[in-house]
Amino acid sequence: MTSRKSVLVLGGSSDIGRATARAFAKAGYDVGLAGRDVGALEPDAADLRARYDVEVGVHTFDVLDTASFEGFVAGLAALPDVVISIVGLLGVQESAQSDLAQATAIMRSNYEGPALILGLFAEKFLGRGSGTLVGVSSVAGDRGRASNYVYGSAKAGFSAFLSGLRARASRGGVHVVTVKPGFVRTRMTEGMKLIGPLTVEAPVVGAAILRAVESKTDIVYVSGRWRLVMLIIKTLPEAVFKKLKF
């Protein structure tokens, strides 16, 4: 048995998931990596064990298979101290506008699945009286834009869910963090035109999540510039906003 704190990273094979797992392992946390392909998680698990001398487990988890969630939680050897949901799907806006399957996948991957699994863990944490839940949302959810409103609407729903859960869970000793990374250089954004001053690397996001957990921060804009940018965007009159091409 270990007396170290533990973290479960849902979406552990993503670039942000891997960077986050490394940040927590370096800080001395035992780590659980969860994703659809356990084989893809094994090399990272082995690296974390060797590099940081912590316990690392791997778990099969599919955010779209909501029927499996209760079994997934019940199957964990122990309830972690921290659960982080990094799963998500950017998708293609142009396709989602007419392809219901594409739109459904985006909405379920970014809102339904993450909200339901964190809600389930919230009940377990509240029963225990402690724990931290982290949801990686997006600045895209701060206001719907023509270029990505399917993805943005799902993230808006997720942010609202986290806000309400935070208010409720705080009364029972459970902390809920909302993380809004902005542009991140990852495999998911490869080929996209990113704005340099508003773009960060995955390890920066991982470090920001660790700081938020340990300092009990509620909402994190990983790049502080995004807080100002979104404040301006949210205050634009609708007549002006709908004419913008972004």
Packing angle, helices 149-169 and 100-107, rounded to 10: 30
Residues 6+ apart with CB under 8 A from 211: 217
Q: Are 16 and 181 in contact (CB under 8 A)?
A: yes
How many residues comprise the chain?
A: 246
Closest Cα to residue 206, out of 22, 81, 8, 44? 22
Q: ∠12-14-15 over CA atoms, to 5°?
A: 115
Closest Cα to residue 134, out of 177, 163, 86, 173? 177
Neighbours of 114 (CB within 10 A): 27
What is the token pair recorded at 129? Answer: 């009286």
Closest Cα to residue 45, out of 35, 55, 36? 55
User: Which one of 52, 111, 151, 221 is the catalytic residue?
Assistant: 151
Q: Tokens 């724990």 sit at which residue?
A: 131
Residue 221 a catalytic site member: no
What are the catalytic residues? 151
